[in-house]
Amino acid sequence: MNKQPFVSKAQLDEITEHYPTPFHLYDEAGIRRNMEAVRDAFAWNPGFKEYFAVKATPNPFLINILRDYGCGCDCSSATELQLCDAMGISGHDIMFSSNETPAADYEAAAKLGAIINLDDISHIDFLEQTIGGIPETISCRYNPGGLFEISNGIMDNPGDAKYGMTTEQLFEAFRTLKAKGANHFGIHAFLCSNTVTNDYYPELAAVLFRLAVQLQQETGAHIEFINLSGGVGIPYEPGQEPNDIQAIGEGVRRVYEEILVPAGMGDVAIFTEMGRFMMGPYGCLVTTAIHHKHIYKEYIGVDACAANLMRPALYGSYHHITVAGKEDAPCDHMYDVVGGLCENNDKFAIDRALPEIEDGDVLVIHDTGAHGHSMGYNYNGKLRSAELLLREDGSVKLIRRAETPADYFATLYGCDELLQNAPYDTEKLKRK
């Protein structure tokens, strides 16, 4: 079974005339359709807000598409906060969810007026000492421990995760924060990653809603919002049934009315912090086949590598591959599709059935819109690729240029001398 790319062979031919591969390409029309679906799925909750996980795809051009629909940003570092600040995003449009947080990061979050989500009970005193007090609005991250199960089995093992507070710590934290002047509280939890089931959010919501009722009754803290965080996944493999965000939203509404409304908490806002679901399917890595190798296996070498997309190397993750122009050709050749890093795990596909690939063929690696370019690195001196946006009208916009050797050397002392003595045209290396 095949997946169809959002970009055609004719479009790719035109794009690659102007922008050399590899590059990440994003689909504006798809992003907008998906955001509208998320908005509609939770329209029953007047306070609903999606805080896009900036770490997934930290590009302001893409984030601004989501902002058209009222999205905020979920940040986890001072640099991500600076990106938001530069975009004019501040206050409660930012949720700051971090762990092992440096003082400077808390200072930056407080300066922007972001909602701070505390990962550990010890951070209460640390935050107070760092910024000189406790904000009126504060959130705490919850870890229920043990195994997290839904109707179709075990989903994950929160007890083995480094994030969040225990149940006892959460109650103590709310009492302490209330005593220190906090008036508006939130609960946050992230228990599973990349779930492809409509049951995850409703099951998580039920856990957090029951907890919220108990917390408000026993501590007197006013719970203003409940943040379901991320974890709603995408079908990387063809044939997987995708999540139905409308069914997910309806499932959360059902438990909201069963648990929160009878407890007099029908004013609680629902927040989400999705990254993968918001962007993942609407990005692809475009790369060119440049070598064949025939030894014990058949290898196709491409001009991208794990430095452009590390998920397959890091997790063994599946990403579907389309050979542009050969979408309907029989997949009667078995290949490993590999990059040029000096690491044997630099493989986009292993024993993958694909059409016959010739040097110069353009390959589309699907579902790289989240945790793709953002997880790039410079091992072996590899340079991170450009990012392009396929606009709704079919035009293409460069939204991040490709790195140059000048970027790679820029943080070294003596960079100017290094470039002056380089045996290549240094003018081409200078930043524009």
Active site residues: 342
Strand, coil or helix: what is 34?
helix
The one-letter amino acid at 277: F
Cβ atoms of residues 232 and 200 within 8 Å: yes
Q: Residue 129, SS3?
A: helix
Please answer whether residues 158 and 207 qualify as being in contact, where contact means their C-beta atoms are separated by less than 8 angstroms: no
Sequence-distant (≥ 6) Cβ neighbours of residue 44 within 8 angstroms = 249, 253
Strand ranges inside 201-354, DSSP E: 223-227, 269-272, 283-294, 298-302, 321-323, 333-338, 347-354
Closest CA to 135 of 186, 88, 76: 186
Q: How far apart are CA 53 and CA 275, in angstroms?
A: 5
Whole-number CA gyration radius for the chain: 23
What residues contact 214, with CB distance under 8 A and at least 6 apart?
A: none
Q: Which residues does residue 271 pair with via DSSP β-bridges, in sequence order? A: 49, 227
